[in-house]
């Protein structure tokens, strides 16, 4: 009986050592990965700062070029409007589209309201499956069924 308890104690000790070695190796691996990611993040931050200053220099050059033909206030105003339009376009491009709208927005015509925004309900993209009945549309009426509206 003592031998069995001794073996169980050895097994538990071995398992604890294996867990400790596994933890240390995982920590070392994560430390190495994060070191590379920190360096990459610092390089991206430096790149962003340089791009910010480059953009400011371009905006200044545009303003000074416009100042040759226009009064200073008009050149500054035109430059500000151009920068605002650029920031709006970049924000719109960066905004995620709702799920399922990627294919619909490419196929939608340029004119007219967006699907689902007008009084007409949106049409499903897939037909109903076999065995399911489509709901019958309500009969058309000339009055508003809400109370107080006629």
What are 101's two structure tokens? 């709208």
**pLDDT reading at 115 higher than 70:** no
Q: How far apart are CA 28 and CA 35, in angstroms?
A: 11
For residue 2, pLDDT beyond 80 = no
Distance CA 28, CA 16 (A): 18
Measured CA to CA, the distance from residue 38 to residue 44 in angstroms comes to: 10
Whether the CB-CB separation of 42 and 50 falls below 8 Å is answered with: no
What pLDDT score does 11 carry? 78
């Amino acid at each position: 009986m003592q031998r069995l308890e001794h073996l169980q104690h050895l097994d538990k000790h071995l398992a604890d050592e294996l867990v400790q070695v596994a933890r240390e190796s995982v920590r070392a691996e994560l430390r190495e990965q994060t070191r590379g990611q920190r360096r990459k993040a610092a390089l991206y931050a430096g790149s962003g700062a340089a791009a910010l200053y480059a953009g400011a220099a371009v905006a200044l050059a545009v303003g000074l070029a416009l100042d040759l033909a226009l009064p200073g206030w008009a050149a500054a105003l035109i430059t500000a409007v151009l920068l605002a339009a650029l920031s709006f376009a970049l924000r719109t491009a960066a905004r995620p589209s709702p799920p399922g709208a990627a294919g619909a927005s490419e196929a939608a015509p340029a004119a007219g309201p967006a699907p689902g925004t007008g009084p007409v309900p949106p049409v499903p993209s897939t037909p109903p499956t076999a065995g399911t009945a489509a709901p019958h549309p309500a009969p058309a009426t000339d009055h508003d069924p809400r109370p107080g509206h006629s």
